[in-house]
Structure 1
Amino acid sequence: MMLNGALFLLVCGAAHAAASGGDGPLLNGDFEYLPNRHQLNGMRVIEPQAIPHWRATGHVEYVEAGAKQGDMVLTVPEGKHAVRLGTESSIQQQLRVTRGKYYAVTFSAARTCAQDEKLNVSIVPGDQPGELPIQTVYTSSGWDSYSWAFQATRGLVWFVLHHGDDGVDDPACGPIVDNFAIRMLNPPQATHDNMLVNGDFEEGPYITPGSPWGVLMPPLIQDHVSPLPGWRIMASSKVVKYIDSEHFSVPHGSRAVELVAGLEVALLQEVHTVPGSSCRLEFSVGDAADGCAASPMRVQVATAGASRTVDYNSNGTGGCNREALDFTAQANSTMVVFYSMGYHMTSDGSGTLCGPVIDDVSLVCVPQHHARRLLR
């Protein structure tokens, strides 16, 4: 996305109060503070500052629950109001953050027109924008919650959400977005007891209290910040789901990852190792108690030194097994990879995608000369 003149002036001007970069909703992140009606033409926003605490450019619509496009009722993810981004449009909000710290932004999105709708997310000033593919709907609600992360390069930045050209004729066509929140990430450190960073998945994006859907974490290119510290999601357009113990069965602690996209996505982390070291990878595999019944659900776990297929017989009501993989480190770094070998839906017929849950992952390696000493 190009930085246009209007956005440049917004970044340089910074003449109004900015949202704090703490944990919780952005200012008017649910769009329930209404614009003045004279700033709207029907649903279309006609003044950049019409939506309180936001700036809008291009074809942006302020949507009320029950509004229609032709015969189709437009989905409002939460509450009574949301925003629809037409072709070549954007919304942005200024954030007050701490330079050098990592943050994750969470929001909900629902596709309305084109099959290949995508959203570009960026921080100005900051890195190149990231792309969130929203073609696949993972829940029966018609919308999903997504997360995107960044490292702050300034104390005052603009969060920008941009929707491009879908190749459709109607300029109003585009995704509906709602329920924006932010969380500062505090990545834990690896230890002798666990060489993996954030192996228990307790550090991750903001999950809105009361939201029963979890948060999707999209694929990442190498240079982007992960909303799940320590881990990367490798795929072309699919995601993994971040879940909490308030709404799901979690093997350990209060957070875990559900592999909802089968063979099309992998969860991985690269760890520094000493060649020849004896290593043990331990992890929990279970189900989220979301009706994901399958016998078995299969998880493939792999490193450069070994791989294993783990079968978990799920009745969709929760539970887990503790598993392990022993291997010898082959190089100065070792990639730990998890992926689901099947595609699953919840048993209620809603079409909600689901899969095996991974949690409480630990890796311990003992150098070869230490291992020999322990055997004596």
Structure 2
Amino acid sequence: MRGCARPAAGSEQHGGSGRAALPGPWNCRRAPLPSPSPPRRLRPPRRRALCPGPRAPGSPLGLGWEAGSGRRPLSFSAAGLVSSAPGPLQPYMRLMRLDKPIGTWLLYLPCTWSIGLAAEPGCFPDWYMLSLFGTGAVLMRGAGCTINDMWDRDFDKKVLRTASRPIAVGDISTFQSFVFLGGQLSLALCVLLCLNYYSIALGAASLSLVITYPLMKRITYWPQLVLGLTFNWGGLLGWSAVKGSCDWSVCLPLYFSGVMWTLIYDTIYAHQDKRDDMFIGVKSTALRFNENTKQWLSGFSVAMLMGLCVAGINCEQTFFYYTAVAAIGAHLAHQIYTLDIHKPEDCWQKFTSNRTIGLLLFIGIVTGNLWKRKDPKEMNVVNTDI
């Protein structure tokens, strides 16, 4: 056949593919056939994984399942646990803010301070009281949020951050919220009845604050002060639950410090919604302080630290307690100095960091109390009885 030249083996053809030319008549100038593909390698059969698949979104521990498996991702966060609960329960759990436990922590921690300070020298706090007050904090915070959302259902619809709350969006009716509120308060009463009579009367006195607090934002620019009076009632109640009555030289400075602390963190929290608050006519310390917020927060911080020092002196606390107070002062200074009141994300981050402050003080109280020695007079009484 004419015109068919046989090129040397290994010469490039068709754009320099680098493949060896085919021999014989296939080297003509007509369109060549595609080169044969290389032989496929035999791979071992893929085994089915016995463990969960790749990390799923929203699962901080990587405990997820592969996409398309039809199973919800596992998560140990509060929001993840609420989202994995049965559908009919989720609106009520969100109404209690179980998906945002920071409020429960801020309500519970003053109780732990008081219980810790009331412990006997050289002893740990009463674990039964800590668990009892923890249960009460969950129930009373849930009841407070239910009352708040019932009062504010019309306001919540106008604010982007709160428009998805269960009552505002219609997932829970007003009647259902009343019934649910009654259930929470009934359970909280059962917890209260486990305490002594003095503490029962003292705890019942706080109910008026719980009910009226949501109205304060319509009346005064200081609703955060009323919230502080409400949220730190456990600073009085914890001591009385352990001792049978309040030692006002310790309880009042501790309560005062808690109120100042609430003014700090809830003013920061209120800066998230100040534009919406101005539009709908709701008042707050964020609007009252405005650009002078850092100066006010600094004053509240100094007052809080002074109250903690007075409480520590009156109950003869030790070095570890005052070390914790100093760490709290450093935390507050950094928090206020770096705060950007015009960024809601930063305000939320600073607000949630206050749980660290509460835990620092509790650790300082416990370690300081363990370092204390028992009163020699009490030791002599014990030895005499033996």
Compute the TM-score of the two structures, normalised by the length of structure 2.
0.28
Q: Answer with 1 or 2: which has the greater Rg.
A: 2
Q: Which structure has the highest helix share of the two?
A: 2
More strand by share: 1
TM-score normalised by length of structure 1? 0.29
